[in-house]
């Protein structure tokens, strides 16, 4: 059987999810793809903190190990923040390696640049995991809607905020209690203010705008309001009227320019995202041929995000097998 080696950058919630799922589902992946995948190197900031992690891989802080190893074909990145992720991925692409990222902040800032670099180096970038966890929204927009013009997207894009608002509503937890639970469950970012202040949803929305419209709004013009000022009292009052507060992210092309907003909104029962609860994300699309449709799925946590990264991995491997070429021109940008 053909064997490939990959590197994993980061061993937090998502990195561990990728490692575990690749290990647990090794046989299924080998049977489906006819390829054996070996995680050869795991790059982390502090290897000494991961001694208890039982990995059949080199755990190192030295990223150069990855660049220097020509047998590593694909780099899976699950680090927090723009750097060193952007530098690592740029260098990987320049070394002819495909890359797969879950890093929304980095990709919202540098996605366009990385896609151009990948194109020039004839490698692929998978970034499904940057947006809406396990929902295959990037593939849906990029591959399944080639002819439709998607005119508007409304999304619940942050699992932590949705979980917090849901727990406040269903169990009358305070904001702080609900957020603590979201952290315990591995939904929240290392700095949860990224979730509750709307930054995380904003980055995901900018990535979606880039995919849908090949452009992003001027960031400073986008309203970004989080959920930290939503009180239990407000949630309960709206609940009594069959209304729910959700953190909505919307982007729409208006007069040739994308207009976007991230803010809590009160939804009535007829809204397509009304029933999206807990750590689930929901995305409501409006297309000029298809009409409207709603996608939902778990938006946070180790497994949904690992799922998105592993499906990207499978797509890249399938493309390589189909064309019998080691590397492909990226198909990920319109
Ligand atoms: N903290 C993020 C969320 C994780 O809650 O949605 C997934 O991107």
Q: If we measure between CA atoms, which residue out of 282, 281, 278 comes closest to residue 173?
A: 278
Residue count (the chain): 334
Active-site residue, selected from the candidate residues 16, 204, 246, 261:
204
Can you spell out the DSSP letters for 79-117? -SSSTTHHHHHHHHHHTT-EEEE--HHHHHHHHHHHHHH
Q: What residues does each domain of the chain span?
A: 2-133+303-323, 137-299
Q: Is the pLDDT of residue 330 over 60?
A: no
Q: What pLDDT is stored for residue 328 in this prediction?
A: 36
> pLDDT tens digits, residue range 210-250?
999 999 999 999 999 999 999 999 999 999 999 999 999 99
Q: What pLDDT is stored for residue 54 in this prediction?
A: 87
**Least reliable range by pLDDT among 92-96, 112-116, 126-130, 327-331:** 327-331
**Residue 118, both tokens:** 């990948």
* Dist. CA 14 → ligand 1 center (Å): 10
* Dist. CA 157 → ligand 1 center (Å): 8
3-state secondary structure of 218: coil
Sorted by sequence, the CB contacts under 8 Å of residue 8 that are 6+ apart come out as 15, 18, 19, 39, 41, 42, 43, 57, 76, 78
For residue 300 and ligand 1, the question of a CB distance below 6 A is answered with yes
Q: Is the pLDDT of residue 329 over 60?
A: no
Residue 281 CA: nearest ligand 1 atom is 6
Q: What distance in Å separates the CA atoms of residue 301 and residue 20, rounded to the nearest whole number?
A: 13
For residue 155 and ligand 1, the question of a CB distance below 6 A is answered with no
For residue 200 and ligand 1, the question of a CB distance below 6 A is answered with yes
Residue 201 CA: nearest ligand 1 atom is 6
Enumerate the H helices of 264-334 as residue ranges: 302-323
Q: Is 241 marked active-site?
A: no
If you average pLDDT over residues 305-315, what whole number do you get?
97
Backbone φ, ψ for residue 70 (5° rounding)? -70, -15
Residue 192 CA: nearest ligand 1 atom is 1
What CATH architecture is 2-133+303-323? 3-Layer(aba) Sandwich (3.40)
Q: What pLDDT is stored for residue 322 in this prediction?
A: 63
Backbone φ, ψ for residue 129 (5° rounding)? -75, -5
Best mutation site among 81, 134, 300 for ligand 1 pocket (most ligand atoms within 8 Å of CB): 300
Q: What distance in Å separates the CA atoms of residue 285 and residue 244, rounded to the nearest whole number?
A: 20
pLDDT band at 323 (very low <50, low <70, confident <90, very high): low
For residue 136 and ligand 1, the question of a CB distance below 6 A is answered with no
Q: If we measure between CA atoms, which residue out of 189, 174, 195, 186 comes closest to residue 249?
A: 195
137-299 CATH, one of 3.10.20.30, 3.40.190.10, 3.20.20.70, 3.30.360.10: 3.30.360.10
Cα separation values, 213 from 178, 216, 256, 329, Å = 36, 7, 10, 21
């Amino acid at each position: 059987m053909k064997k490939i080696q990959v590197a994993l950058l980061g061993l937090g919630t998502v990195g561990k999810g990728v490692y575990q799922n690749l290990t647990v589902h090794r046989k299924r992946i080998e049977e489906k793809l006819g390829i054996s995948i070996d995680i050869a190197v795991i790059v982390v900031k502090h290897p000494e903190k991961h001694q208890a992690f039982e990995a059949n891989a080199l755990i190192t802080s030295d990223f150069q190990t990855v660049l220097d190893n020509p047998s590593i074909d694909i780099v899976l990145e699950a680090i927090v923040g723009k750097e060193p992720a952007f530098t690592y991925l740029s260098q990987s692409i320049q070394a002819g390696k495909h890359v797969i990222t879950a890093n929304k902040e980095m990709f919202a800032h540098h996605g366009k640049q990385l896609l151009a670099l990948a194109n020039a180096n004839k490698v692929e970038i998978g970034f499904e995991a940057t947006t809406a966890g396990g929902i295959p929204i990037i593939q849906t927009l990029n591959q399944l809607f080639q002819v439709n013009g998607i005119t508007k997207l409304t999304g619940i894009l942050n699992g932590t905020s949705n979980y917090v608002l849901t727990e406040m509503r269903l169990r009358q937890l305070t904001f702080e209690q609900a957020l603590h639970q979201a952290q315990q469950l591995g939904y929240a970012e290392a700095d949860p203010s990224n979730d509750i202040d709307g930054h995380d949803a904003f980055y995901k929305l900018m990535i979606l705008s880039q995919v849908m419209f090949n452009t992003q709004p001027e960031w400073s013009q986008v309203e970004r309001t989080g959920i930290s000022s939503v009180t239990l009292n407000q949630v309960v009052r709206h609940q009594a009227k069959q209304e729910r507060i959700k953190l909505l992210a919307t982007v729409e092309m208006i007069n040739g320019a994308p207009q976007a907003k991230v803010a809590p909104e009160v939804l009535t029962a007829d809204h397509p995202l009304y029933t999206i609860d807990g750590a689930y994300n929901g995305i409501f699309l409006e297309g000029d041929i298809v009409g409207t449709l709603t996608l939902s799925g778990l938006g946070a946590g180790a497994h949904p995000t690992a799922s998105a990264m592993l499906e990207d991995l499978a797509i890249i491997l399938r493309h390589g097998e189909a064309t019998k070429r080691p590397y492909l021109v990226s198909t990920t940008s319109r």
